[in-house]
Structure 1
Amino acid sequence: MENREKELLENIAAVNKDIADAVEKAGRKPGSVTLMAVSKLHPASDIEILFRAGQRCFGESYMQESLAKQEELAHLDIDWHYIGGLQSKKAKYVSGRFCAIHSVDSIKLAELLNKKACSLGVVQNILIQVNTAGEEQKSGVAEEQVPALIEQIASLDNLKLTGLMALPPFFGDPEGARPYFARLRMLSEGMEKLFGIKLPELSMGMTGDFRVAIEEGSTMVRVGTRIFGQRSG
């Protein structure tokens, strides 16, 4: 355990330094970017080590696994985020259990999340997942459909739209992702003006390209492998 703790703490310290350097290079305010440690397929013991060291935000993608970890780590005040694809039939299990759900891409899913949140008497934070590259194999709403979805979500009292999320195509060179990050930022700015709302969160950027994402305005980056190493499953 001592070796594992040392590895995790060294890894996350290096990631935090890179984030801080990228924020400074972009001329942004220190602390304006949140690190989400993507802990899917890694044990609860790893999460606890990082929590004790000051990490609060963790991202999970699999419903049963994430709920089991929440139960095991219920004694810790962790900011859990759901970042995986979400089938409608599973919406009732995640609504009200996460600080934010990043993968909302249809009004049907939003309505189901809202219904469950209403029954729990809570307001669920959500982000709209946008498929900025139009990739058939990826979830996410098309850019041109975002205004209609925002308008529909506005009528759901137990959901709070806090921002947009995107997973751009993979490029060997992180610069390849820059146009997609820029498009999401511009889309967010456009929606704020169109609807007179605030969308403070831009969830974009992962292990290989988060520096570029930060330069393009990301407020939350998702890093897994560089912190935890290769997944166990």
Structure 2
Amino acid sequence: KVPQVCPGPQWHLIGHLQSNKVKKALPLFRMIHSVDSLSLLETLQREAAAQEFMVQVLLEVNVSGEASKYGFRPDQTASAVRAATAMENIRLCGLMTMAPYSDHPENARPVFRGLKQLF
């Protein structure tokens, strides 16, 4: 429904993307904000190559270590970055993370600092 709603904007996908949805998602979204595994990265590369498309991505890093969150562990980030930058149809634009929910912004700062240290 995205093209019907408003064809002009460049849409970004934020949230978990299942591998079986990649084929449909690629032509709709300018950037995928939450690439959380090597298998998803490989699926994106394969499908983007088939569609002759360059996909912009952010790698999701689970800095907080919460079991409820998706993403690469911090110690996997360097190898994920190397894999992404070696793929012809992937344009790595950066890293992202989700901090734990809290009523106090100060509780989130260590998570974002941890991500910054990886970059």
Place the TM-score, normalised by the shorter chain, in its bin.
over 0.9
Partner of 1:33: none
TM-score (norm 2): 0.93
Percent of paired sites with the same residue: 35
Question: Which residue of 170, 173, 176 corresponds with 2:104?
Answer: 173
Aligned length: 119
Partner of 2:10: 79
Partner of 2:60: 129
Which segments of structure 1 move beyond 2 Å, counting only runs of 4 or more?
69-72
Q: Distance in 2 between matches of 1:117 and 1:187?
A: 27
- Equivalent residue of 2:99, what SS? coil
Partner of 2:3: 70
Q: Which amino acid aligns with 1:72?
A: V
TM-score (norm 1): 0.49
| TM-fit CA distance, 1:122 | 1.7
Higher-helix-fraction structure: 1
| TM-fit CA distance, 1:71 | 2.7
Partner of 2:49: 118
User: Taking structure 1 as reference, are residues 95 and 69 closer, same or farther at Cα in structure 2, changes over 3 Å only?
Assistant: closer
| TM-fit CA distance, 1:182 | 1.1
Q: Distance in 2 between matches of 1:96 and 1:124?
A: 9
The higher radius of gyration belongs to 1
Deviations 1:159-185 (CA, angstroms, capped at 9, x unpaired): 010001111101111111011111111
Q: Distance in 1 between matches of 2:102 and 2:5?
A: 37
